[in-house]
Amino acid sequence: MGLENSKVVVIGGTSGIGLATAVAAAAAGASVVAVSRSADRIAQCQLDYPDIQFGQLDTHDVDGMKQLFDEVGEINHIVAAATGANRTMAPFMEQSDEQFREAFNKFWGYTHVARQGIPHLTENGSLTFVSGTPARKCNPGMSSVSCTGCAVEGLTRALAMEVAPRRVNVVAPGLINTGMFDNLGDNKPAALENMGRNVLLGRVGEPEEVAQAILLVMQNPYMTGTTVDVDGGILLP
């Protein structure tokens, strides 16, 4: 099942994994709508990728989400890749209750995507969430990220049971070279190289490699309720 002449909506589609997915889907022949909350990124992406329709939307804007899906109409595939949260990287006992709860705004944003988007999916359409390896292999200081990922993966399995034959899957990246590490500045390349030494394949991944997995679950009509890991083997002991 290819993407030719299909409609794809990517939430969080102006950077990193979301943008790579939007670009790959468009290259495969899909009509793509990609949204995010960053006006600056939207303007630049529209210049760089004129074949993709970019727009501004926050995952917590339920009315805006409803309007987006109403305007697009019938949709073949939805991808939820937006973070939608501020995440505190600190041990659980050193976080405030507010800091820990804030990380779950990613999960709540995903529930908004599901509630508003699923009614617009075709009968053989799909919804794909993006989670991460911390859901099943949590390093110290990543408790809130891990718990949020577990919630996303649990929601995936629950929704797959409820909305079949429409499909719901989740792709879980490992260490990926995205804007999440831009705060490292000029030290980013060296830091990522050092992180990659702890990965079985000896390097961090690229957004395009995760996008390949997202397109796989979008196009495979016999995959649902599945978590697909793209982590270079980092989950192995």
Span 80-94, pLDDT tens digits: 999 877 888 889 999
Which amino acid would we find at residue 142?
M
Q: Return the pLDDT at 87.
A: 80
Q: Return the pLDDT at 83.
A: 82
80: which strand partners? Answer: 11, 129
- C-alpha span between 4 and 162 (Å, rounded): 27
Q: Return the pLDDT at 132.
A: 94
Q: By percentage, how much of the chain surpasses pLDDT 70?
A: 100
Cβ–Cβ under 8 Å, residues 88 and 102: yes
| Domains of the chain, start order | 7-179+206-230 (3.40.50.720)
* 3-class DSSP state of 206: coil
Q: How confident is the model at residue 178 (pLDDT cuts 50, 70, 90)?
A: confident
Span 210-229, pLDDT tens digits: 999 999 999 999 999 999 99
- C-alpha span between 145 and 52 (Å, rounded): 31
Q: What is the value of pTM for the model shown?
A: 0.94
